[in-house]
Amino acid sequence: MKRTTFVKTLLAATAVAAAAATAPAHAGKTLDSIKQRGQLVCGVNTGLAGFSAADSQGNWSGLDVDVCRAVAAAILGDPTKVKWVPLNAQQRLTALQSGEIDILSRNTTWTLTRDASLGLSFTGVTYYDGQGFMVPVKSNIKSAKQLKGQTVCVQSGTTTEKNLTDYSRANNLGIKPVVFEKVEAATGAYFAGRCIAYTTDASGLASVRNKEAKNPAEHLILPELISKEPLGPVVRRGDEEFFAIAKWVVFGLVEAEEYGITQANVDKMLAESQDPVVLRILGKTEDTGKLLGLDKNWMANALKAVGNYGEIFERNVGPKSPLGLPRGINNLWNKGGIMYAPPVR
């Protein structure tokens, strides 16, 4: 009798677990707000070419911008339904904490302090970076170790400022930071000759050199990287439903590249592919969308909007873009990089 009761209890528990595993997600307050207003509110950089920058007509482009477009497409079926909120380094995390924005997609480094003490959650890494230095070619400086006693322009309120201090102290360089609240002031001071070097993430150096230097060839980005800077989108903690959506959209973009799904071939793949993974990603054989509170074609919509991760990278920052950055460690895990996404299944 006891054994029969145990078996019945076990079967009942298994059935409940199975039902929970396939049950639709409960919509979180952030997702509800986005659907009600018909718009995703995305915090971006005030202007960092290749990542988030607006043209003279107010049209935004960049890797970080495309991430928000993908999230909007997954939720609302339309990548244009985004309100862009440009934020500087000091404003960005506070704007997210206060609810001014739904998601921050703005070259922000994932650190323990930011992850554990600010009520925020990083959703993943969209660009693996590292901090570097840019100097005038005429300075004849070839290595960061030659910056001993030199002035370096840097933006305040960033991991960059702290890394500069740590690097100087660890190598006994006595570097003299010249600190500015706004990035435009820091770069302007560097190009005006107030500092011998400018420091930020290596991708940012390439962007600044390409966009702001009168002659980019007159400025050298030194070979050393002095830090790890994993950059990615951030959401508020406490809304697990929206956290899951933001996270899995990014994972889906990466996995789509791995399986050859592109912006141009989504419909063809839906109609002709026999690959179970492809059909699962695109929502043809399994409705993963219901687990996120989204339509079954959530990932197909995101891919039609911006393409897979590789396409986003190449279009905005890759070797053929104005920034000309190598794919490097941001390549897929099976192509020599470290971009690796959990499976959409």
User: What DSSP character marks residue 265?
Assistant: T
Structure tokens at 271: 């109609």
Q: Give the span between the Cα atoms of 166 and 53, in whole angstroms.
A: 30
Q: Are strands 176-180 and 151-155 parallel, antiparallel or unpaired?
A: parallel
CB 196 within 8 A of CB 147: yes
Block means of pLDDT (10 residues each) for the chain, length 345 residues?
46 45 61 97 95 95 98 98 95 96 96 95 97 98 97 93 96 97 94 97 94 94 95 97 98 98 98 97 96 97 98 97 94 98 95
Q: What is the pLDDT of residue 157?
A: 85
Q: What is the pLDDT of residue 1?
A: 47
Q: What is the pLDDT of residue 13?
A: 46
Q: At 260, phi and psi to the nearest 5?
A: 75, 20
Sign of CA dihedral 196, 201, 202, 204: negative
> What are the chain's domains?
29-128+231-335 (3.40.190.10), 131-227 (3.40.190.10)
Q: What is the pLDDT of residue 155?
A: 94
DSSP-assigned letters across all residues of 71-116 = HHHHHHS-TT-EEEEEE-HHHHHHHHHTTS-SEE-SS-B--HHHHH
User: Nearest to residue 67, comparing CAs of 338, 316, 319?
Assistant: 316
